[in-house]
A and B are shown apart, each in its own frame.
Chain A
Amino acid sequence: MSDNSELVKEFLVESYENLDRLDGLFIDLEKDPRNLENIGGIFRTIHTIKGTCGFFGFERLQSLTHAGESLLSKMRDAEISLTPEITDSLLALVDAVRTMLKQIEASGGEGENGYLELILKLTALLETPNDDFNAANSTLIDDNQLPPTGLGSPGTLTSLFESANPAPTTSYSSTAKAIQVPGVPGVSPVSKSGKDQTASPAGASATQPSDRSDTAKTTSIEHSAGAQMGTTREIHSESHHKGSDSQRHEEPKSDAHGLADTTIRVDVVLLDRLMNLVGELVLARNRIMQFTTSVSDKAFVATSQRLNLLTSELQEGVMKTRMQPIGNIWSKFPRVVRDLSLSIGKQVRIEMEGKQTELDKTLIEAIKDPLTHIVRNSIDHGIEMPEIRASIGKPAEGLLSLRAYHEGGQVIIEISDDGGGINPQKVKAKAIEKGLITAQQANQLDERGMVALIFLPGFSTAEKVTNISGRGVGMDVVKTNIERIGGHVEVQNRVGLGTTIKIKIPLTLAIIPALLISSGGERFAIPQVSLIELVRLDSSNSLEQVYGAPVYRLRGHLLPIVFLNQELGLTPAPADAVQNLIVLQADERRFGLVVDAIYDAEEIVVKPLDQMLKGLLVYAGATILGDGQVALILDVLGLGMRSHAVDKSTERMLENAAAALHVERQALLLFTSPDDGRMAIPLSKVTRLEELASASVERVGGNDVVQLRGEIIPLVYVFQHLPERRKEPRNPDCGVPPDIIQLVIHSANGHQVGLVVGRILDAVDAPIALQRAAGRRGVLGCLVIEDWVTELLDVEGMVRETLPHLYDQLQSNTP
């Protein structure tokens, strides 16, 4: 029994592979219906499945594949020409077979669904004349009569079997006969020698079904098919082998997969074990290489060198065994594209380049779904309807192209379409409508930032939800899945011309280059992928504080700083120690990590952490170092999130967008904040400045107001509404005498508000590129002005918060 289950497993694996190939063949076939080689290929696959499942006693599956086989055989003999209807049915057949195989895999049995309708349809299609097929078909199917009406006449049936016969294999198609012709006593399965012999029993039995055609209900078909099977099973297995053998003889060159002789199937578990062992070997090698530095024995050093080289080669070799061409997952896309474009009335051609590009099996698995999603998206949202395309001078047929290539130790996959591209304004409007961002946030975005909004959770621009896409789970999932495997997604958008989604993923995950560091007496490994640069901190370039948050100025950009020992609760380094700053990138955001010491870069073997530690997102795993000690591998993204250096996706997006903004100069009004920090307001939002005696402030209805030039102006105390970081302001009055208040008058459509700020310093012209997102409410972000870290005040936000009714007025009057 266990032997059998092994065999079944093998059968399943082989059949899945074959089916995947089938999808491609069908699409090719549709392009070139006369390509007999393709038909032959499809026929063989179906035939092989049929033969094998006969051997295992999967009768329903066998009946189904037989029906398909008969049809294909006719096509191969050019008695039937390919029609879209036939293609659809055959594709439906492939799906049905796949479903049944899954069922077998899951439960060991083929399930209850016998796909009788499909069998009937396939059988009916057998009758498709070369010219006029539609009429005949439709009546047959509608009537739901069992065998095709023509089957009653011996002539048709004979021709049916004759036509099925030329393939050396159809001769044992006794089950099929049992299906098409219920109750036919076994059409001698031995009659594989020639046409004439087969033809006569078939002809003879053909009278029977017409007698019973009214009683022949679906159940009886199954039943008789089953009964038949019991007796013929053994013969089947035998004849199957013969059949396939002879086939191989006949068409050796057309079988692209005749490579079977030079390849063997290996269990992935075994490969994984090999990979682990090689990992161990790499570690042992690393240890030995450490010894060589302290040993003067030349022979030992030479041997170690040799070991070093061999290990590297072995590692590379074993890694290659786990590599799979990306074509393996691409092969289903032609089918996806075809089905999808047909169902929504678009015309799409798919082009693939770099099918041979290889990457690790686990990665292949991981990108399968994201890729499918992107492909579907491109067809559904990207490529326009044929009429629209024609009207704007594009060819009616859209082009979807997939490209894969290696670049800098990474695999790059590009999915481009020549559709309408992503309309940034539409995306923005949608994001606001869905409440994913506020209108105000949106206004800070440039085009790239707007396009990046498609990666927000819950985003979907499809006008209507189709069954294909547009349900609001999508690009964010794609992004997370790709990032989970250390990859990265970006969108290149040309409005009106198309979209390209570029995915970058690492080649493998098992052995990675990493930098070893220490903090608080513990050693850690940081994957090199996230590493940007190393900076040594001394007195000339040290860290600064913005409201208690440490930052570092890296060539004019503000870098948030994370102290590893603080983050992990380790013992801090002595205050006078030299600090090392590691600039890391996670999710397009950079931050600086302060560590005690930086050691070497080393190839490390990533080992998963025990389940009990899985919840700790700051670690990506553990590894064994050259000296045999265990070191934890830091997860840069997790660490960034934990320390808030890398924040929630929305903010991240906005920030990216802000960073991408063209550096635009703007006039800013500078003033001081209570803790000696600097703040700025765009001059465009300032109507005028006023200085008043504190005594002139009056209170009306809970609000402080002042009278100025005959107008009543409500006041907003800026500092009262900023969440304070420091407990005690260094400079509570900001250097303004207590009896004086300095006002910035902000107005919109005749309504004025007075902002009470600290000491007004200056008005400057500065590049307004936010370098850090807001650290607190009421602030849009930080920028460096005249070498000072300056916070940009969110005027509207503040007014809205403090004087909501007034804000509404300001807004409603704004055109």
Chain B
Amino acid sequence: MNEQRQFCTFRLDQHLFGIDVLDVQEILRQHSVTRVPLAPPVIHGLINLRGQIVAIIDLRVRLGLPPRTSKRPPIHVVARTARGAISLLVDEVGDMMSFPFQANEAPPETLRGTVRDLMCGVFQLKDQLLLVLDTGKIIDLTTRSVSA
């Protein structure tokens, strides 16, 4: 019962998000990106991850957040998924956080939009909420069409 879940947290816009730490393969800072012309905006480009070509999903676009304004380069959170590695582009990476299993709450009913479809729960922090995302749903672009 006392089982803990660990999350890798990151920030996008004002929000704090997390994904299960077991889904995270690695975190990359600067990496040279190859753009894919004609690709949907959610695909930021491709990177060479030690010989493996990995697609990058811009989480801001995926979650319907406004475009990035900060000058600081975004960070790649490389996630393991059923389809292989995928890089998720975030503004900055936060701490690792642990929560007991049962602390997870369903997303509030009033929350609408893409983010609700991609979430699998909410944890309450002292001054903020941690929105937990489901990587499987993030890479499935058919889950709520993103602005093409």
Check A618 against B35 for contact (C-beta < 8 Å).
Answer: no
Identify A612's interface contact among B37, B38, B43, B53, CB under 8 A.
Answer: B43
Check A629 against B83 for contact (C-beta < 8 Å).
Answer: no
List residues of chain A with CB within 8 A of the CB of B8. none
Check B34 against A629 for contact (C-beta < 8 Å).
Answer: yes
Check A568 against B37 for contact (C-beta < 8 Å).
Answer: yes
A407 to B35, CA, bound (A): 38
Is A760 close to B, CB under 8 A?
Answer: no
Task: Report the minimum CB–CB distance from B127 to chain A (whole Å).
Answer: 36
**Which residues from 32 to 83 on chain B have a C-beta closer than 8 Å to any C-beta of chain A?**
32, 34-40, 42-43, 46-48, 51, 53-55, 57, 83
Q: Which B residue sits closest to A619, measured CB to CB?
A: B36
Q: How many residues of A contact B (CB 8 A)?
A: 23
Task: Report the minimum CB–CB distance from B7 to chain A (whole Å).
Answer: 24
A720 to B123, CA, bound (A): 69
Category for how many chain B residues contact A? 20 to 34
Identify A629's interface contact among B38, B48, B55, B141, CB under 8 A.
Answer: B48
Is B86 close to A, CB under 8 A?
Answer: yes
Identify B53's interface contact among A568, A611, A624, CB under 8 A.
Answer: A624
Q: Which A residue sits closest to B139, measured CB to CB?
A: A612
Check A568 against B48 for contact (C-beta < 8 Å).
Answer: no
Check B141 against A522 for contact (C-beta < 8 Å).
Answer: no
Interface centre among B38, B39, B57 (most CB of A within 10 A): B38
**Which residues from 658 to 687 on chain A have a C-beta closer than 8 Å to any C-beta of chain B?**
none
Task: Report the minimum CB–CB distance from A779 to chain B (whole Å).
Answer: 30
Check A280 against B51 for contact (C-beta < 8 Å).
Answer: yes
The answer to whether residues A569 and B46 also contact, given A610-B86, A624-B53, A630-B53 and a CB cut-off of 8 A, is no
Task: Report the minimum CB–CB distance from B147 to chain A (whole Å).
Answer: 15
Check A616 against B38 for contact (C-beta < 8 Å).
Answer: yes
Is A348 close to B, CB under 8 A?
Answer: no
Is A613 close to B, CB under 8 A?
Answer: yes
Check B55 against A568 for contact (C-beta < 8 Å).
Answer: no
The answer to whether residues A618 and B46 also contact, given A607-B53, A612-B139, A613-B55 and a CB cut-off of 8 A, is no
Q: Which B residue sits closest to A564, measured CB to CB?
A: B37
Is A622 close to B, CB under 8 A?
Answer: yes
Identify A631's interface contact among B34, B37, B47, B139, CB under 8 A.
Answer: B34
Is A317 close to B, CB under 8 A?
Answer: no
Is A628 close to B, CB under 8 A?
Answer: yes
Check A629 against B32 for contact (C-beta < 8 Å).
Answer: yes
List residues of chain B with CB within 8 A of the CB of A520. 37
Check A569 against B37 for contact (C-beta < 8 Å).
Answer: yes
Check A624 against B32 for contact (C-beta < 8 Å).
Answer: no
Check A569 against B38 for contact (C-beta < 8 Å).
Answer: yes
**Which residues from 116 to 148 on chain B have a C-beta closer than 8 Å to any C-beta of chain A?**
139, 141
Interface centre among B42, B48, B55, B86 (most CB of A within 10 A): B48
Q: Which B residue sits closest to A520, measured CB to CB?
A: B37
Is A92 close to B, CB under 8 A?
Answer: no
Check B38 against A630 for contact (C-beta < 8 Å).
Answer: no
List residues of chain A with CB within 8 A of the CB of B32. 628-629
Check A570 against B37 for contact (C-beta < 8 Å).
Answer: yes
List residues of chain B with CB within 8 A of the CB of A570. 37
Check B141 against A622 for contact (C-beta < 8 Å).
Answer: no
Mark each residue of chain A from 436 to 456: 1 if its CB lies under 8 Å from any CB of chain B, else 0.
Answer: 000000000000000000000
Check A632 against B36 for contact (C-beta < 8 Å).
Answer: yes
A616 to B46, CA, bound (A): 14
A619 to B46, CA, bound (A): 13
A668 to B83, CA, bound (A): 61
Check A283 against B83 for contact (C-beta < 8 Å).
Answer: no
Check A630 against B34 for contact (C-beta < 8 Å).
Answer: yes
Task: Report the minimum CB–CB distance from B148 to chain A (whole Å).
Answer: 11
A520 to B35, CA, bound (A): 11
Identify B48's interface contact among A618, A619, A624, CB under 8 A.
Answer: A624
Mark each residue of chain B from 74 to 108: 1 if its CB lies under 8 Å from any CB of chain A, else 0.
Answer: 00000000011010000000000000000000000
Check B37 against A613 for contact (C-beta < 8 Å).
Answer: no
Task: Report the minimum CB–CB distance from A635 to chain B (whole Å).
Answer: 12
Mark each residue of chain A from 617 to 637: 1 if its CB lies under 8 Å from any CB of chain B, else 0.
Answer: 011001010001111100000
A627 to B42, CA, bound (A): 26
List residues of chain B with CB within 8 A of the CB of A622. 34, 46, 53
A261 to B37, CA, bound (A): 53
Check A616 against B39 for contact (C-beta < 8 Å).
Answer: yes
Q: Which A residue sits closest to B47, measured CB to CB?
A: A630
Task: Report the minimum CB–CB distance from A104 to chain B (whole Å).
Answer: 29
**Which residues from 588 to 612 on chain A have a C-beta closer than 8 Å to any C-beta of chain B?**
607, 609-612
List residues of chain A with CB within 8 A of the CB of B43. 612-613
Task: Report the minimum CB–CB distance from B34 to chain A (whole Å).
Answer: 4
Task: Report the minimum CB–CB distance from A518 to chain B (whole Å).
Answer: 12
A611 to B40, CA, bound (A): 12
A559 to B86, CA, bound (A): 41
Check B37 against A611 for contact (C-beta < 8 Å).
Answer: no
List residues of chain B with CB within 8 A of the CB of A618. 38
List residues of chain A with CB within 8 A of the CB of B55. 609-610, 612-613
Q: Which A residue sits closest to B55, measured CB to CB?
A: A610
List residues of chain A with CB within 8 A of the CB of B34. 522, 622, 629-632
Q: Which B residue sits closest to A622, measured CB to CB?
A: B53
Check A630 against B86 for contact (C-beta < 8 Å).
Answer: no
Task: Report the minimum CB–CB distance from B82 to chain A (whole Å).
Answer: 10
A267 to B34, CA, bound (A): 34
Task: Report the minimum CB–CB distance from A235 to chain B (whole Å).
Answer: 47
Q: Which B residue sits closest to A628, measured CB to CB?
A: B48
List residues of chain A with CB within 8 A of the CB of B86. 610
Identify B38's interface contact among A568, A607, A611, CB under 8 A.
Answer: A568
The answer to whether residues A610 and B83 also contact, given A622-B53, A630-B46, A630-B48 and a CB cut-off of 8 A, is yes
List residues of chain A with CB within 8 A of the CB of B39. 612-613, 616
A568 to B38, CA, bound (A): 6
A493 to B37, CA, bound (A): 43
Task: Report the minimum CB–CB distance from A595 to chain B (whole Å).
Answer: 13
Task: Report the minimum CB–CB distance from B96 to chain A (whole Å).
Answer: 27
Task: Report the minimum CB–CB distance from A480 to chain B (whole Å).
Answer: 23
Check B36 against A613 for contact (C-beta < 8 Å).
Answer: yes
Task: Report the minimum CB–CB distance from B121 to chain A (whole Å).
Answer: 25
The answer to whether residues A522 and B35 also contact, given A612-B141, A630-B46 and a CB cut-off of 8 A, is yes
Check A522 against B37 for contact (C-beta < 8 Å).
Answer: yes
List residues of chain B with CB within 8 A of the CB of A283. 51
Binding site for B on A (CB under 8 A): 280, 283, 520, 522, 568-570, 607, 609-613, 616, 618-619, 622, 624, 628-632
A selection of 10 A-B contacts at a CB cut-off of 8 Å is A280-B51, A522-B35, A569-B38, A612-B39, A612-B43, A612-B57, A622-B53, A624-B48, A628-B48, A630-B53
Q: What 5 A-B pairs come out closest when comparing CB atoms?
A: A568-B37, A610-B55, A630-B34, A630-B46, A280-B51
If A612-B39, A624-B53 are given as contacts, then 20 extra A-B residue pairs at C-beta distance below 8 Å, sorted by A number, are A520-B37, A522-B37, A568-B38, A569-B38, A570-B37, A607-B53, A609-B53, A610-B53, A610-B54, A612-B40, A613-B43, A613-B55, A622-B34, A629-B34, A629-B48, A630-B34, A630-B48, A630-B53, A631-B34, A632-B46
